[in-house]
Amino acid sequence: MKELKPRDRFIGALRHEKIDRVPRLYRMKREAKEKVARVFGVTEAETGLGHQPELELRMGNDAIIYQIGVNAEFSHREIAIGDTWTSPFGVGYGKSGLMGRTEEEHKEFMKTQEYWGPAKVVPENFPNFHPITSMEDLQNYTWPDPADRRLLDPIKALCDAYQDDYFIIVDLSSTLIEAAYAHIVGTQNFFLTLFDDPDLIKGVLDGLTEYYTELGKNAIALGVDMIRVGDDVGAQQAMMLSPAQWRELARPRFEYMFGEFRKANSDLFIKLHSCGDYSPIIPDEIELGVDLSGLMQPTGGNKDQAGIKQKYGNDIAFIGGLDVQNLLPRGSVEEVRASVFNVMKNLAVGGGYVFSPSHYILADVPIQNIWALYEATQDYGVYGKYPLD
Amino acid sequence: MTTPTLKIPEGWEGRAPDGWDWVPLWEAIEQGGHIFTDEFVRGAIDAGINPRVILDDGLFPGFNLQGDRFTEQIIFIPEMLITARAMKAGLALIRPLLAANDEKPLGIFVMGTVLGDMHDIGQSIVTIMLENAGFEITNLGTDVHPDRFIETAMEQKADLVGFSALLSTTVYYQKVTIEEFEKAGHRGKVNILIGGAPTTQEWANEIGADGWGKDAIAAVNLAKDLIAKNREAWA
């Protein structure tokens, strides 16, 4: 089959059409990206709101994904140990402190991180202040501006520069339940407040729905191909909340949001993401008209990739499925290759699949495993060739 | 999948005053009624019921039922959390009475999330479940340096130590912390449990932990099993 343009390949996969090879979508956190950038000799490797896609395109990505939303504001930001940074959502973030270390000692420590092996510890940014914990907080709360040029201008620039050849995705993460528990309300408080003061949680979810619907529509007006909604409701072994409660809290709000998105562009593709085991709500995703479901975390409760593909694969496309918890950081090159082979066999046969690790490539992944991924997807991800013949 | 049922304590009528009824308390724990639980347990204490009986006949049936349902994925984190909160309300009243009766905790447990990791929802659920099951717990919170685990285990003469890690980038510190216990010469005195999303039984074996719990209920059962194991004594 003649080689397709990356954007046509990505769209072909979403539509379950015959394509030349499995499209790819790698995402990397700063430390991993810096590591890979050295191998490819790419210097433009910014992450977060300053995301530069060149390196991921060299890795074979067929789409460009740009993240805006709660997560984008904090997760790639430099926050010094001991400092708190307050996001436009009024959420405070600090850094895991490497307890007892000063910033200087921490820098010395970072120099000892192994380039070829798993990095030891990379401090992460974490929410340490949640702005809404009472009805009064909610009433006094001001949602950020969904027409913020700071978020929208880079999307326009990416569309202008790349959309002829590449598929453009805007990622609104985290969007609803996750944004509420992890950021706006706080996790334990969120779950208890569901019982103690359900109207408060509903108010927060309504506010998030309004904000992200407007933000999404503004991105759609710039011509993007897909909106990705990221909302972690899966824990390792099961869903965090019951499927019934998700159907009550999340589903009608997504129904409204996706309806508004499709009114703005009826050809828009929609992706819904959750970490962990979210398999009980895949039928709901299909009913909501979601085009792409991921990221198919293969560890914990949701191990039967082939079964899920067989059951739902005709009605929805899947992305992801390669283990980032154990395999990528600690597996051998041979194990990474074998796993790419299995994921392709389980999920890519018959189309409707985009290859991706089941999350970002993090700092702890050794460079040889990233390279093994790069090679193995070329070896095992071609339609008409084993194992996709 | 088996459908969990309420296990009614055998012969409970003989341990309570005439006409006493535990059903409202069983249901309150099941449904997470922490205010009702507080009031009901106060009433039971006032009625002169032995605190151990209040715990076993009054508080545990509803709690165990929800624990079984959680394991079977019939209920999820929110329902388990409100049941744990109700249980905690009852225990807060019972615990001082048990101590006054010279009842010892099931074991001393030191819990924390390892260095570099700020996640705490999982380990706080495990902490509540262990407390409810009768362990005395010191929770060191998140981002805990190996030295603090060791110091606290020494101070408390801990039977068990639990390391939580939610990131593939921080599970490494479970290994380091175990090594530090060894270097300090205290490894043989504590049973070490690990948990957290990216952890597995294989990882526990590889780093020499004594056990791995796939969820909060499994962690409690494991802790109960391990407490029976022979260990070196704290000086």
Q: What is the DSSP string of B134-197?
A: T-EEEE--SSB-HHHHHHHHHHHT-SEEEEE--STTTTHHHHHHHHHHHHTT-GGGSEEEEEST
**Residues in chain A closer than 8 A to B176 (CB atoms):** 120
Does residue A191 surpass a pLDDT of 60?
A: yes
Nearest Cα residue in chain B from A238? B73
Asked, for residue A127, whether it belongs to a domain, the answer is no
Burial A39-68 (b: 16+ CB within 10 A, else e): eeebeebebbeebbbbbbbebbbbbbbbbb
Q: What is the mean pLDDT of residues A240-262?
A: 98
Most confident range, picked from A303-307, B121-125, B203-207: B203-207
Q: What is the mean pLDDT of residues B176-201?
A: 94
**Residues in chain A closer than 8 A to B215 (CB atoms):** 237
Chain B residues whose C-beta is within 8 A of a chain A C-beta are 32, 73, 75-79, 81-82, 85, 115-119, 121, 124, 142-145, 147-148, 167-170, 172-173, 176, 197-198, 200, 203, 214-215
Nearest Cα residue in chain A from B123? A188
Nearest Cα residue in chain B from A365? B169
Residue from B74, B77, B140 whose CB has the most chain A CBs within 10 Å, to mutate: B77
Asked, for residue A245, whether it belongs to a domain, the answer is yes
pLDDT score at A19: 97
Q: What is the nearest CA distance from B130 to chain A, expressed in angstroms?
A: 17
**Residues in chain A closer than 8 A to B212 (CB atoms):** none
Sorting pLDDT into bands at 50, 70 and 90, what band is A374? very high
- Asked if A261 contacts A220 with a C-beta cutoff of 8 angstroms, the reply is yes
Q: What is the nearest CA distance from A127 to chain B, expressed in angstroms?
A: 9
Residue from A325, A327, A360 whose CB has the most chain B CBs within 10 Å, to mutate: A325
Please answer yes or no on whether B203 and A245 come within 8 Å at the CB atom: no
Asked, for residue A256, whether it belongs to a domain, the answer is yes
pLDDT score at B168: 84
Residue in B32, B79, B167 closest to A124 by CB: B167
Residue from A181, A187, A196, A361 whose CB has the most chain B CBs within 10 Å, to mutate: A187
Give, in order, the Cα–Cα distances in Å from B230 to each of A387, B161, B184. 52, 15, 20
Residues A285-342 have pLDDT tens digits of: 999 999 999 988 998 877 799 999 999 999 999 999 999 999 998 899 999 999 999 9
0.80 exceeded by pTM: yes
Asked, for residue A93, whether it belongs to a domain, the answer is no
pLDDT score at A373: 95
Q: What is the nearest CA distance from A329 to chain B, expressed in angstroms?
A: 7
- Lowest average pLDDT, out of A130-144, A251-265, A371-385, B120-134, goes to B120-134
Does residue A119 surpass a pLDDT of 60?
A: no
- Lowest average pLDDT, out of A358-362, B80-84, B165-169, B218-222, goes to B165-169
Please answer yes or no on whether A124 and B117 come within 8 Å at the CB atom: yes
3-state helix, strand, coil in chain B (%, to 5): 55, 10, 35
Residue A189, SS3? helix
Does residue A108 surpass a pLDDT of 70?
A: no
Domains of chain B, start order: 20-100 (1.10.1240.10), 108-226 (3.40.50.280)
User: Domain range for residue A370?
Assistant: 6-76+142-380
Q: Which residue has the tokens 């009852």?
A: B90
CA A337 to chain centre: 23
Residue from A188, A248, A249 whose CB has the most chain B CBs within 10 Å, to mutate: A188
Residue in A94, A118, A238 closest to B172 by CB: A118
**Residues in chain B closer than 8 A to A98 (CB atoms):** 115-116, 143
| Euclidean distance between CA atoms B140 and A99, whole angstroms | 12
Residues A20-58 have pLDDT tens digits of: 999 999 999 888 898 899 999 999 999 999 999 999 999
Residue in A240, A326, A328 closest to B76 by CB: A240
Tokens matching residue A97: 């402190």
**Residues in chain B closer than 8 A to A236 (CB atoms):** 197, 214
| The length of chain A, given as a count of residues | 389
Please answer yes or no on whether A364 and B172 come within 8 Å at the CB atom: yes
Q: What is the mean pLDDT of residues B35-52?
A: 97
Give, in order, the Cα–Cα distances in Å from B129 to each of B37, B61, B88. 17, 14, 9
Please answer yes or no on whether A241 and B76 come within 8 Å at the CB atom: yes
**Residues in chain B closer than 8 A to A119 (CB atoms):** 169
Residue in A97, A119, A245 closest to B169 by CB: A119
**Residues in chain B closer than 8 A to A191 (CB atoms):** 77-78, 81
**Residues in chain B closer than 8 A to A100 (CB atoms):** 145, 147
- Asked if A47 contacts A29 with a C-beta cutoff of 8 angstroms, the reply is yes
Residue in B32, B81, B170 closest to A121 by CB: B170
Nearest Cα residue in chain B from A188? B121
Sorting pLDDT into bands at 50, 70 and 90, what band is A248? very high
Asked, for residue A323, whether it belongs to a domain, the answer is yes
Sorting pLDDT into bands at 50, 70 and 90, what band is A231? very high
Asked, for residue A130, whether it belongs to a domain, the answer is no
Asked, for residue A81, whether it belongs to a domain, the answer is no
pLDDT top residue among A225 and B124: A225
**Residues in chain B closer than 8 A to A124 (CB atoms):** 116-118, 167, 169
Does residue A116 surpass a pLDDT of 60?
A: no
Half-sphere exposure of B163 (CA within 13 A, CB side): 40
| Euclidean distance between CA atoms A225 and B68, whole angstroms | 45
Sorting pLDDT into bands at 50, 70 and 90, what band is B125? confident
pLDDT score at B173: 87
Asked, for residue A168, whether it belongs to a domain, the answer is yes
Total number of domains constituting chain A? 1
The CA R_g of chain A, rounded to the nearest whole Å, is 20
CATH number for A185 = 3.20.20.210
Residues A59-71 have pLDDT tens digits of: 999 999 999 999 9
**Residues in chain A closer than 8 A to B121 (CB atoms):** 187-188
**Residues in chain B closer than 8 A to A91 (CB atoms):** none
**Residues in chain B closer than 8 A to A35 (CB atoms):** none
Does residue A120 surpass a pLDDT of 60?
A: no
Q: What is the mean pLDDT of residues B31-56?
A: 97
- Asked if B133 contacts B160 with a C-beta cutoff of 8 angstroms, the reply is no
Residue from A114, A125, A177, A195 whose CB has the most chain B CBs within 10 Å, to mutate: A195
